[in-house]
A and B are shown apart, each in its own frame.
Chain A
Amino acid sequence: MVETVPSQPSPPPVAIGPRAPVRRRSFNLGWALVLPALAFLALFTYLPAVLVAAISLFQWNLAGFSSSHWVGLQHYAQLLNPISGFLQSLTVTAYYVGMMVPLSIALGLGLAWLVKNRGPRLTAWETFTRSAVFLPYITPAIATSIIWIFIFNPQFGLANAVLSALHLPALGWLTSTTWALPAVMINNLWHNVGFMVILFLAALSNVPQDVVEAAWMDGANGAVAFWHIIRPHLSPVMLLAVILGTIQAMQTFGSIYQMTGGQFGGGGGPLNSTTTTAIYLYKSAFVYFHYGYGAAVGVVLFLVMLGVALAQKKIGERHTFYR
Chain B
Amino acid sequence: MTNTAARPSGRLVRRWARFALMAVVAAAFLLPFYWALVLSVATRANVFTMPPDLVPSWDFISWARVFTLAPWGLYFLHSVIITGATIIAVLVTGVLAGYALAEVPFRGREVVMGVLLAGLMVPPEAILIPNYVVAYHLHLLNSLAGQVVPFGANVFAVFLFRQFFKTLPVELWDASRMDGARWWQYLRHIAVPLARPVVMTVTLLTFVAQWSQFQWPLIITQGNGARPVEVALSYLQGFDGSHWRELAAASLLTLAPIFVVFLLTQRHLISSVAGRAQI
Contacts and interface: CB of A to CB of B under 8 A. Distances in A.
Interface of A: 26-31, 33-34, 36-41, 43-49, 51-52, 55, 60, 62, 64, 111, 114-115, 125-126, 128-144, 146-151, 155-158, 160-161, 164-165, 190, 195, 198-199, 201-202, 216, 219, 221-222, 240, 244, 247, 250-251, 253-254, 257-258, 262-264, 278, 281-282, 285-286, 291, 294-295, 298-299, 301-302, 305-306
15 contacts: A30-B107, A30-B109, A37-B94, A38-B97, A46-B115, A52-B126, A138-B258, A141-B212, A141-B214, A142-B237, A146-B237, A150-B244, A216-B3, A298-B127, A302-B127
Contact of B212 (A140, A148, A199, A222): A140
B8 interface: no
B237 A52 contact: no
B122 A45 contact: yes
Interface in B7-46: 18-19, 21-23, 25-27, 29-33, 35-36, 39
Contact of B122 (A49, A156, A244): A49
B248 interface: yes
A229 to B, nearest CB: 15
Contacts of B130: 47-49, 51-52, 55, 295, 298
A44 B220 CA distance: 14
Contacts of A30: 100, 104-109
**Interface SS of chain B: helix, strand, loop or mixed?**
helix
Contact of B29 (A133, A151, A247): A133
A320 to B, nearest CB: 16
Interface in B90-105: 92-94, 96-97, 99-101, 104-105
Interface stretch (B63-71, B146-154, B167-175, B191-199): B146-154
B125 A158 contact: no
Contacts of A201: 274
A215 B136 CA distance: 62
Most chain B CB atoms below 10 A, which of A29, A221, A244: A29
Contacts of B89: 40
Contact of B32 (A27, A134, A190, A254): A190
B44 to A, nearest CB: 13
A121 to B, nearest CB: 13
Contacts of A40: 89, 93, 149-150, 152-153
Given A55-B129, A282-B128, A195 B273 contact: yes
Contact of B129 (A140, A247, A295): A295
A74 to B, nearest CB: 16
Interface string B116-153: 10010111111111111110111000000000011111
A221 B2 contact: yes
B158 interface: yes
Interface in B210-232: 211-212, 214-215, 218-219, 229-231
Given A130-B270, A138-B212, 8 more contacts: A34-B100, A37-B116, A141-B214, A142-B230, A150-B39, A221-B2, A253-B215, A282-B128
B55 interface: no
Q: Which 5 A/B pairs are nearest by Cβ-Cβ distance?
A: A263-B238, A30-B106, A48-B130, A33-B100, A40-B153
Contact of A41 (B50, B116, B214): B116
Nearest to B120: A45
Given A143-B255, A263-B239, A29 B106 contact: yes
Contacts of A198: 270, 273-274, 277
A175 B83 CA distance: 35
Contact of A262 (B50, B123, B234): B234
**Interface SS of chain A: helix, strand, loop or mixed?**
helix
B25 A132 contact: yes
Contacts of B244: 150
Given A31-B108, A48-B130, A132-B29, A253 B125 contact: yes
Most chain B CB atoms below 10 A, which of A138, A157, A202: A138
B73 interface: no
Interface string B52-85: 1000000000000000000000000000000000
Contacts of A128: 22, 26
A38 B22 contact: no
Most chain A CB atoms below 10 A, which of B39, B149, B208, B215: B215
B163 interface: no
Contact of B50 (A46, A64, A155, A251): A155
B215 A114 contact: no
Nearest to A222: B1
A33 B126 contact: no
A150 B94 CA distance: 41
A286 to B, nearest CB: 5
Contacts of B129: 52, 55, 60, 281, 285, 291, 294-295, 298
